[in-house]
């Protein structure tokens, strides 16, 4: 095997390693939010409910199965008061099964994260597609990679926007 063939083989293996590392990085970025949200603190502590900010949006599930949505007004040791569309509602702590705080997440952060992941995926796909290509069309290859980066960034940002604009429900109290 000539030294030129050996060099070409090393370059091809180097591109494959970069592709594997890029895919692993993208996969870890996609899995990270789910791993973080799986970690939680104790949910049986009523102090989390009492320490809610006034007018926070909450969703309360009662032991009867009924769900009450409203805005937090106050909480004592035995009572939770919400403001709903029909007026104030007092709920006894003993009747409550769970309390969720409902927050609208900013879609901007998710869109930006999606754009970065999409751009990285597009670049990795473009680089992998032209890694073993030695046909002398380097400028065309670079244009294709740039196009895939743009397409990946647009697709990622749109996906991130729609995923990120959903309301996030955080369990803050559960009565077992």
Same domain membership, residue 149 and residue 62:
no
Residue 143 has what pLDDT?
76
Number of domains in the chain: 2
User: What mean pLDDT do residues 110-136 have?
Assistant: 75
Residue 113 has what pLDDT?
85
Residue 40 pLDDT > 70: no
Q: How far is CA 96 from the centre of its chain?
A: 29
Same domain membership, residue 59 and residue 25:
no
Residue 140 has what pLDDT?
64
User: What mean pLDDT do residues 128-149 have?
Assistant: 67
Residue 88 belongs to domain with CATH number: 2.30.30.100
Residue 39 has what pLDDT?
42
User: Looking at the domain assignment, is residue 113 inside a domain?
Assistant: yes
Same domain membership, residue 111 and residue 34:
yes
pTM of the model: 0.50
Same domain membership, residue 32 and residue 118:
yes
Same domain membership, residue 139 and residue 59:
no
Same domain membership, residue 113 and residue 33:
yes
Supply the DSSP string of 125-153, one letter for each residue: HHHHHHTT--SS-HHHHHHHHHHHHHHHH
pLDDT digits (tens, 9 = 90+) for 55-71: 899 999 999 999 999 99
**Each residue of 94-122: b (16+ CB within 10 Å) or e?**
eebbbbbbeeeeebeebbbbbbbbbbbbb
User: What mean pLDDT do residues 122-135 have?
Assistant: 68
Sign of the alpha-carbon dihedral angle for 63, 66, 72, 74:
negative
Q: What would the two tokens of residue 170 be? A: 């955080």
* Domain extent at residue 55: 47-104
User: What mean pLDDT do residues 12-28 have?
Assistant: 69
Supply the DSSP string of the chain, one letter for each residue: --HHHHHHHHHHHHHHHHHHHHHHHHHHHHHHHHHHHH----S--THHHHTSPTT-EEEEEETTS-EEEEEEEEE-SSEEEEEETTEEEEEEGGGEEEEEEEEEPPHHHHHHHHHHHHHHHHHHHHHHHHTT--SS-HHHHHHHHHHHHHHHHHHHHHHHHHHHTSEEEEEEEE--
User: Looking at the domain assignment, is residue 31 inside a domain?
Assistant: yes
Residue 158 has what pLDDT?
85
Tell me the pLDDT of the chain averaged across its residues: 79
Residue 93 pLDDT > 80: yes
Look at strands 57-62 and 87-92 and give their pairing.
unpaired
Same domain membership, residue 54 and residue 17:
no
The position carrying tokens 């926007």 is 161
């Amino acid at each position: 095997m000539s030294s030129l063939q050996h060099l070409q083989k090393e370059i091809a293996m180097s591109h494959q390693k970069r592709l594997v590392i890029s895919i692993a990085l993208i996969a870890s970025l996609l899995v990270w939010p789910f791993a973080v949200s799986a970690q939680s603190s104790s949910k049986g502590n009523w102090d989390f409910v009492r320490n809610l900010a006034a007018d926070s949006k909450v969703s309360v599930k009662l032991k009867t199965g009924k769900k009450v949505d409203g805005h937090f007004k106050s909480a004592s040791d035995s009572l939770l008061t919400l403001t709903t569309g029909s007026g104030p509602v007092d709920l006894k702590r003993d009747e409550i099964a769970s309390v969720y705080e409902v927050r609208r997440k900013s879609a901007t952060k998710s869109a930006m994260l999606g754009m970065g992941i999409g751009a990285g995926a597009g670049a990795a796909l473009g680089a992998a597609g032209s890694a073993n290509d030695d046909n002398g069309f380097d400028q065309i290859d670079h244009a294709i990679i740039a196009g895939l980066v743009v397409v990946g960034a647009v697709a990622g940002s749109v996906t991130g926007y729609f995923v990120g604009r959903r309301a996030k429900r955080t369990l803050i109290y559960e009565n077992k």
